[in-house]
Structure 1
Amino acid sequence: MSQPRVTATDAMETAYGYRTVEGGGEKQERVNGVFHRVAERYDLMNDLMSGGLHRAWKAAMVAWLSPPHRPEYRFLDVAGGTGDIAFRIVEATRRRAHGTVLDINASMLGVGAERAAKRRLDGNLEFVEGNAESLPLPDNSFDAYTIAFGIRNVPKIDAALSEAYRVLKPGGRFLCLEFSEVDLPMLDRVYEAWSFKAIPRIGEVVARDRESYEYLVESIRRFPNQTNFAAAIRRAGFERVDYRNLSGGIAAIHSGWKL
């Protein structure tokens, strides 16, 4: 069933779930295929992966960010194509903040831009296609960088963290919400069974796409745990690095500052 976690971020470059691929290019191509297939069902996918808890976790992330009600506040949400985090941040600032939503996947961005228009938030948000490992954005330009359930799908995680540091202003904040390592003995067994037995089957029935859901479950189990990922954030130059476990460690929010 499950396999040991990858402890080093650079090992994720060739880890496509439990399979080993030749490098970042092949992994990125495979991951793109997954998200092209699930773009229209992305919220449903997160509901299945988290039992609906992802909505509370995202609310906790934005609450910890605590964005100010200032029109000059600028944030970057990476791998956030459908806009879920960006919408929450804008609403938390009483529609004063302005954000850039960046995603490598055009299908995801299309869903997000359409939703932003329906919510009348398109004046607050810009949707940009780009790679987290090489952001098409200037240095020192954002007050906050957020990424939710996206960084484990980036082949070169250390490069993405370095880019996050580069584009943040001095005093800027990095926040990452990601599935993590369960730290409760009974809960980990229940969650393991749900993940490997139920989620791929539900994906097959609901989305007619078992393979994508198998990859997503496996990618969670291969991602570095809380301590190792926090160390990677520090290596990128961030200070005051901290994390908060959610739901017994099923997910965790990581925080760092560019000081």
Structure 2
Amino acid sequence: MTETVSFGYEDVAPAEKTARVRGVFSNVAARYDLMNDAMSAGMHRLWKDRFVRRVKPRAGEQILDMAGGTGDIAFRLAESGASITVADINPEMLAVGVDRAAKRGIDGLVWTEANAETLTFPDRFFDGYTIAFGIRNVTDIPAALREAHRVLRRGGRFYCLEFSTTLWPGFAEIYDAYSHRLVPKLGKLLANDEDSYRYLIESIRRFPDMPTFERMIGEAGFVQTAVEPMLGGLVAIHSGWKI
């Protein structure tokens, strides 16, 4: 692992990034879903629906939803009858998810605090691994991808939903101006936290582009890797299989 990693537009020591990311999500946990609606005009719900359709969860499967604290993906996956383990490094995010599940009457989910880079689950334990809008916040992304590969059974599938870089002419400039100028202000207005939302936008800019991230997934051992861009690549579904 390199001596420094990106935290937004800053380069910091790996341990510092882990601590600072934990702080960001502790700060925003209570308003995280409200801000997702505000930042995406509600489109994140459609993206997540499409993501889960690609995963195709089935009754009886064991699926790990990593960085899934608030439960948005897990609730959708659970409708299939699959057994879902929700893992997140941040206990405040998990607390929000547990509370939301209770209010919705959703039982049977397993909630666990875990670091994506050093999972404690045994080898070849899960049929599926999902991570939505979380991989870019991981300190050592290649380590997290290797762990995803390790805990999947042969024939298991990896799916990642993440922001990327849109290739639509003109739209990239409009979105860039919107995200840098307005999203931190929305964070200040709705969550009283401008700095955390500035980091979240900056982290998107520092994340690898679609071909680079697809290559990283392959380097972790996955095969038949694929990427499905949405809005020209503003958001993308990455996938791979373990054989």
TM-score band, normalised by the shorter chain?
over 0.9
Equivalent position of 1:122 in the other structure: 107
Among 38, 52, 59, the alignment partner of 2:42 is 52
Equivalent position of 2:205 in the other structure: 221
The one of the two structures with greater contact order (alpha-carbon pairs below 8 A, sep at least 6) is 1
Where do 5+ consecutive residues of structure 2 fail to align?
Answer: none
Equivalent position of 2:92 in the other structure: 107
Equivalent position of 1:5 in the other structure: none
Among 183, 187, 196, the alignment partner of 1:199 is 183
The residue type equivalent to 1:212 in the other structure is S
CA gap of 1:117–1:62, structure 2 versus 1, over 3 A, is same
Where do 5+ consecutive residues of structure 1 fail to align?
Answer: 1-9
Matched, 1:159 2:159: no
The residue type equivalent to 1:117 in the other structure is A
TM-score by length of 2: 0.97
Equivalent position of 1:34 in the other structure: 24
Among 222, 225, 229, the alignment partner of 1:238 is 222
The residue type equivalent to 2:78 in the other structure is V
Mapped partners of 2:35, 2:190: distance in 1: 10
The residue type equivalent to 1:39 in the other structure is A
Equivalent position of 1:89 in the other structure: 77
Worse overlay, 13-22 or 248-257: 13-22
Equivalent position of 1:174 in the other structure: 158
How big is each residue's C-alpha offset from its partner over 1:21-53, in whole Å with a ceiling of 9 and x where there is no partner? 12x210010001000010011112222332321
Number of residue pairs the alignment of both structures matches:
243
Backbone CA RMSD of aligned residues = 1.3
SS in 2 for 1:61: helix
TM-score by length of 1: 0.91
The residue type equivalent to 1:43 in the other structure is D
How big is each residue's C-alpha offset from its partner over 1:38-75, in whole Å with a ceiling of 9 and x where there is no partner? 0011112222332321111100100111112x2x2110
Calculate percent identity across the aligned residue pairs. Answer: 53
The residue type equivalent to 1:88 in the other structure is R
